[in-house]
Amino acid sequence: MEDERKRIFPFHYGGEAESYTFYRIPKILFTQEIFRGLSTDAKLLYGLLLDRMQLSLKNGWVDEEGKVFIYYTVDNIMKSLSCGNKKAGSLLAELDDKRGIGLVTRVRQGLGKPDRIYVHKCALPEMPEGQAQTCQNDMSGNVETTSLEMLKGHANNTEKNHTENSDTDPIISAAKAGLADRIMKERQAYRDYFKERCLFEYLKNTYPYDAKVLDEMLEILVDICSSRRRTVRIAGDEKPLQVVKSQLMKLDNEHIQYVLECFKENTTKVRSIKQYLLTSLYNAPMTIDSYYTALAHHDMYGGNETQAEKR
């Protein structure tokens, strides 16, 4: 029996553990006193709701104020957590802003439609605006924004999940520093975050002839995430900054490599390299799977189709 189990569940070798897709539950839910009263299942449900936000971004479920909402029914909760209707409703109640801690807001639609659910940032109430703790997913991904004090901690964290909360604040507050100094530190924090998460130095060593393009990608990410604008133009459409920022914060080295490959394969004239790269980076989490699936189908069946066309 022991040998059979080993065959079913083999050991990990090297970096094989990185191949999984993860649900991300913010560490702050387990370390801060304000969240102590939440049940473990409610914290897990919060992670599932965050994960669902990626689907919302793909579907364009953003209200007139630019806030992202999700649909996640009681039946979804019952299936995901293998629990009954009463337990699912109780877990939602723990999280909502009427009877619970206030991490979600449910808006009734009526006419048999499911409730809209707005997932709030997982932040301590006393944190100043702009320094709120973010809840980030793998994308599975589903962050709205990432706090500045978290970014520096992420850059020093070698774990894939990037959900660790730094014990110290590496960013000097605006009250103690001038605006120019604060902006510079903010940009550096984002730069460190993306360099670590997306492995830019590794990619530059792997693709030395494309180092300038990779540097430009990094600067685009830093520019957008530290922007003070309300909207960002993506492929001709004005999108809320927080939505764009949320999408960019989910990028990893595979997305960057994918964008680089698409850029090198493009044969049409590009009028604005910056806009092209920004649009590609924004769309990467949504299109990468389809791209490689289509590529695999082409490799598997392309030759047969060509022969058929010849006949």
Where do the structural domains in the chain lie, given as residue ranges?
23-142
pLDDT at 87: 92
pLDDT at 31: 87
Domain topology for 23-142 = Arc Repressor Mutant, subunit A (1.10.10)
pLDDT at 295: 52
pLDDT at 183: 79
Q: How far is CA 24 from CA 19, 149, 195, in A?
A: 15, 19, 21
Instruction: Judge residue 115's burial from the number of C-beta atoms within 10 Å of its C-beta, 0-12 exposed, 13-18 middle, 19 or more buried.
Output: buried
pLDDT at 108: 87
pLDDT at 118: 92
pLDDT at 149: 45
| pLDDT tens, the chain, 311 aa long | 555 555 677 777 876 766 777 888 888 888 888 888 889 999 999 999 988 888 887 778 888 888 889 988 889 999 999 999 999 999 998 999 888 888 999 998 877 788 899 999 887 654 444 444 444 443 334 444 444 444 444 444 444 444 344 444 444 444 444 667 777 888 888 888 898 889 999 888 988 899 999 999 999 999 999 888 889 999 888 989 888 988 898 888 889 988 888 888 887 887 888 898 999 999 888 887 665 565 555 444 554 444 444 43
φ, ψ at 119 (rounded to 5°): -90, 120
Model's pTM, two decimal places? 0.43
